[in-house]
Amino acid sequence: MTIATTKYELFTISGAPRPWRVALGLVAKQLDFDIRVLDGSKKEQKAPDFLALNPRGRTPVLKRGDFVLTESLAILSYLEKEHPSPPLFGTTSEEHARIWEVVSEGQHDLNDAASALLRPLFFLGQDDTNEEVRRAALAVKCELHRLEQRLAGSPFLVGMRMSAADCVCFPHVRLILRATERFPEVTRRLELGPFGAVYPHLAKWIDRIEALPGYEKTFPPHWTAA
């Protein structure tokens, strides 16, 4: 297996939250990597050459030489062992546990709430007249409020430096912000925008992460083209 001097390759779909987590982890650790963006509309993640990397046909996939790894949390854990500094999972038992606490909430509660809201807005053409959209917005507001409270006392979700908690939660929050940019009137009526006015700490946190060197590589290319 050859991995020692090989640059990382990250296979992703533009805007997909789970591979975006990994890209942010690579940026936070200041690692050199190339992004391979698959076209989800063309089902490139189901093509034979990609299925040879991940038979489940989904992203992310991290490749380094002959080493191939799937699943975002497994990849972040691998990067932590392979490149311990700067740490993504803390340096003390308490910090490690707090990071995993937020990672778990992001993986489940935030992901579920954001998906329930964003899918009908982005892909089904629904708006705030839909009862399911209104119900999903309530769940999203609850999750964003929790994150807003965390950021009231520190620049990142767990303490003074970026961690796996930020990597996991950021893509979902940034996608919600994208929704407020795309559908300002709908999200205003849902009390999610203007985003910076409703969630000032989250807005500053987004700015902080987007200012990281290399962040631009993680930005969904189809947003730039839109």
- Render pLDDT for 137-193 as a digit per residue (tens, 0 to 9): 999 999 999 999 999 999 999 999 999 999 999 999 999 999 999 999 999 999 999
Write down which residue in 58, 82, 106 finishes a domain: 82
Q: Helices in the chain by DSSP H: which ranges?
A: 17-28, 48-51, 72-82, 93-105, 111-123, 131-151, 164-182, 184-189, 195-198, 200-210, 221-225
Domain with 123, as residue range(s), is 93-212
Alpha carbon distance 32, 2 (integer Å)? 17
Residue 226 one-letter amino acid = A
Tally of CA atoms within 13 A in the half-sphere of 99 that contains its CB = 24
Gyration radius of the chain's alpha carbons: 18
Write down which residue in 53, 82, 111 finishes a domain: 82
pLDDT band at residue 224 using 50, 70 and 90 as cut-offs: confident
Residue 3 has pLDDT above 70, yes or no: no
Residue 51 token pair? 């299925």
Q: How many domains does the chain have?
A: 2
Whole-prediction pTM = 0.95
